[in-house]
């Protein structure tokens, strides 16, 4: 069997890769580079020249060849490698007539517990959405900001330390009161706090038993993540910004997190994700795959969830909702005018019931793109809208 073509399909906010073979078996994958899909698309086109004519089943060799082919690294490059890798595993599963996780050692669970996206621009809205998530059967919720989901176009004005931290703590208290002890709260900071703010906030919410505190500060510096993790009694989660197994190895060595957020569409695909999960398992660290993308990403993540003993939770944005970029980032988004649901890009989504994704038994990754997906859902480039503080400086959100 040989690879005959590698094509990219840009649909809505997503970048998909399709790999075709001379035996009629086709695999699909997805890139997780968010705002820089155009760069990842060109990286795929560069790797295409190497892949044509190769045996698609030599997945590890192709991963090593692409990963080590140049002197450079970067999210766009790794997004391309990840999408290709997922597609190659999809082909392998279909070729051998089994789910990808079977080729990785077989499943260790029948279903994967998820955390559901909950947001809101006001505290009343957030509480209402939390209660609705609980009523739907979800036992964990995430993307849960103590600073609410305010528009990125408006200046952030809470510059006073006491006001900023205490009001954020009060919101977490309201979240816990809304759902009681029946729902785990995954608190998302999106790197907004500096080190002393992160420590003060984490200590303030300790009594409300959050499942984890994600990206309390910029995770680029492993020493900073280690410092915070050692100063607080709440598990730290991070990893969505990392795009190589080596970065996760350094994070683990620094003891900077108790949950690693591997993005299968960014960290090297299923190959990279499995390497990272094994490293984490050997060090007593749990895996919570990052997944703000389409059902193709969910299907790839679920392969790791199925076969990794140290899997904890699967991020699940909801297939019956618009893309995450539209809901949380686009300042032009109007729900009343947007009928697109991200589940529309595939022929069938993975079943979710009572807060769990049911591990599928279909060959490959278990989902297929709808025909002409790029024509039905035209590509929308993500705009760069970075929030500023009241004094004009840049903040993270």
Identify the CA nearest to 134 among candidates 97, 176, 95, 92: 176
**Paired strand residues for 115:** 315
Q: Which of 62, 117, 190, 230 is catalytic?
A: 190
Whether 290 is a known active-site residue: answer yes
Cβ atoms 55, 25 nearer than 8 A? no
- Pairing mode of beta strands 184-188, 26-31: unpaired
**On the CB side of 175, how many CA atoms lie within 13 Å of its CA?**
35
Report residue 369: phi and psi, to 5°: -70, 150
Whether 254 is a known active-site residue: answer no
Rounded CA separation 290/240 (Å): 6
Q: Is the dihedral of CA 372, 376, 377, 379 positive or negative?
A: positive
Q: Which of 62, 71, 290, 331 is catalytic?
A: 290
Q: Is the dihedral of CA 42, 47, 49, 51 positive or negative?
A: negative
Identify the CA nearest to 187 among candidates 207, 211, 163: 211
Cβ atoms 353, 137 nearer than 8 A? yes
Spell out where the chain has E strands: 3-11, 14-21, 26-31, 111-117, 140-144, 184-188, 212-214, 236-238, 259-260, 286-287, 314-316, 352-353, 356-358
| Residue 238 DSSP label | E
Identify the CA nearest to 307 among candidates 107, 86, 109, 99: 107
Identify the CA nearest to 238 among candidates 191, 302, 308, 275: 191
Which sequence positions are flagged as catalytic? 190, 290
């Amino acid at each position: 069997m040989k690879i005959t073509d590698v094509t990219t399909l840009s649909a809505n906010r997503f970048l998909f890769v399709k790999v075709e073979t001379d035996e009629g078996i086709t695999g699909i994958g997805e890139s997780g580079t968010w705002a820089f899909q155009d760069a990842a698309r060109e990286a795929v086109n560069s790797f295409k020249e190497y892949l044509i004519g190769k045996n698609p089943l030599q997945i590890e060799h192709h991963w090593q060849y692409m990963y080590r082919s140049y002197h450079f690294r970067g999210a766009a490059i790794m997004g391309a490698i990840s999408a290709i890798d997922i597609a190659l595993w999809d082909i392998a599963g279909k070729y051998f007539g089994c789910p990808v996780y079977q080729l990785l050692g077989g499943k260790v669970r029948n279903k994967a517990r998820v955390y559901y996206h909950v947001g809101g621009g006001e505290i009343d809205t957030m509480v209402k959405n939390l209660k609705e998530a609980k009523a739907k059967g979800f036992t964990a919720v995430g993307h849960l900001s103590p600073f609410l989901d305010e528009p990125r176009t408006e200046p952030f004005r809470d510059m006073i330390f006491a006001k900023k931290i205490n009001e954020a703590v009060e919101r977490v208290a309201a979240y816990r009161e809304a759902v009681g002890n029946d729902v785990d709260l995954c608190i998302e900071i999106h790197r907004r706090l500096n080190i002393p703010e992160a420590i003060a906030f984490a200590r303030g919410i300790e009594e409300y038993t959050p499942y984890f505190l994600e990206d309390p500060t910029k995770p680029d510096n492993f020493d900073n993540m280690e410092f915070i993790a050692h100063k607080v009694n709440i598990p730290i989660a991070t990893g969505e910004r990392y795009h190589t197994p080596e970065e996760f190895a350094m994070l683990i060595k620094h003891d900077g997190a108790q949950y690693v957020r591997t993005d299968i569409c960014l960290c090297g695909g299923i190959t990279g994700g499995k390497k990272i999960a094994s490293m984490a398992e050997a060090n007593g660290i749990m895996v919570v795959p990052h997944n703000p993308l389409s059902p193709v990403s969910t299907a790839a993540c679920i392969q790791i969830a199925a076969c990794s003993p140290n899997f904890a939770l699967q991020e699940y944005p909801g297939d019956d909702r618009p893309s995450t970029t539209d809901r949380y980032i686009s300042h032009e988004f109007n729900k009343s005018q947007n009928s697109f649901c991200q589940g529309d890009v595939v022929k069938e989504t993975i079943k979710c019931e009572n807060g769990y994704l049911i591990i599928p038994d279909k060959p490959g990754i278990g989902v297929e793109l709808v025909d002409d997906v790029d024509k039905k859902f035209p590509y929308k480039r993500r705009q760069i809208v970075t929030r500023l503080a009241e004094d004009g400086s840049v903040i993270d959100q």
